[in-house]
Structure 1
């Protein structure tokens, strides 16, 4: 049998608080005499406490002047590997599905001006009108480059994505292949000395570059020599960029101007 001190120590470890009334309770059963006796002094002894995955460790039970602490093993919060269900294992090893990349959205118009082709971004998505400020700016740029300022429109605008619905791949790579294939078909009909890429979508999906390539000449396989430029709307909103366009144009003008001029 447990001694009273040991029983109270176990109750304390289980967070059970025992108490005794100070006075006799009416209609209560008589108390056991041993409960009213003073606690016996604890004799220091050694108890072995099981430690998971380790050798038993000797832990002193307590001193005569201290209340004994008894450690109760608690279940581990980490489930064992053997207790995992097959469903949980399948979920853990299931591959994460890649999030589909939304198709880019842009509209491009191809024009021919003398010995150059011009692939220009349509900021509004609509074809150029004769009095559009952006179209008037393009005419000024062609005139400054020594090219005809009334360019010939080639085909309908290239609009992306092609389909509103369906399972057809319309991501960035598909858009690049489509735009480059469209231009290559026009080059087979009539070659050009330089392809102007006006606007970020034209630079990205025809020249395979970004805005860091503005004002530079880019050789693109299948398209020949290209020239990357900011969009017409950007040039109107930031007129200081026109100086950079003019500097680059002066370096490249010999590519499309006849040698006898």
Structure 2
């Protein structure tokens, strides 16, 4: 938007003396009406002569026609309200391309399957390494089994399940693929040796084998093809937050009848 002083400076630089805008300009000084009237040169007075012959009309040569100099064309910016809208661009009749499905990053976890009595345990390996006999987390697991009335020396079933399985290639290893594989793996072990209750220890085990989350802690889940599953916090979390052990013990007393033989 040009202000009046800057507009006059531009016109002076272009040697434009008189000009008339095509539309009302914002911040412009009011136009002077006398500049808009056509200017005609004043007529010269007739000379006074004594001779009558001089008074006789004489042929006067026609004055040459003087045309005004062409006015310089000035590009004046139009206000936004008077600007012509740009022509609409019609979309091509091509068929819109379908959005590509974005591949979800694969989850990362390591789980160990164990058997204690008539129960299977799917336990999260926080470090990714198999249990050692003197690991604090393994000693805590033995204490939990002893409190539940189960053998405190669980048998390891197979190698740990580590996800993602492949570091290269285009194979889908997202959450859905991890869930399908893990459930199929546990189901195959259950077919070999049935279990009255599946312990899911740790959030990855709950999420990908039991289709639950952290809100499922201490609850008994019914999982298709896997049966009853008890969701528990991870061993590392129980060691970091010992107050959770009270909730584990409370839920254990309600479920203990499932795996303990009748007295």
- TM-score, normalisation: structure 2: 0.70
User: What is the Cα deviation at residue 99 of structure 1?
Assistant: 3.1
The question of 1:185 aligning with 2:188 is answered yes
The question of 1:167 aligning with 2:170 is answered yes
Deviations 1:188-219 (A, max 9, x none): 11111100000000000000000000000000
Q: What does residue 196 of structure 1 align with?
A: 199
Q: Distance in 1 between matches of 2:14 and 2:163?
A: 85
Q: Distance in 2 between matches of 1:143 and 1:66?
A: 111
Counting strand residues as a fraction of each chain, which structure ranks higher?
1
Alignment: residue pair count: 212
Deviations 1:154-195 (A, max 9, x none): 011011111110111111001001110011101111111100
SS in 1 for 2:151: coil
Q: What does residue 26 of structure 1 align with?
A: none
Q: Distance in 2 between matches of 1:109 and 1:20?
A: 87
SS in 2 for 1:16: helix
| Residue among 61, 80, 89 paired with 1:81 | 89
| Residue among 205, 210, 214 paired with 1:207 | 210
Gaps (5+ residues) in structure 1? 1-8, 22-34, 50-61
Gaps (5+ residues) in structure 2? 24-29, 37-74
Deviations 1:89-112 (A, max 9, x none): 97x944443432111111100000
Q: Distance in 2 between matches of 1:186 and 1:66?
A: 105
Distance 1:20 1:209, change over 3 A: closer
Q: What does residue 122 of structure 1 align with?
A: 125
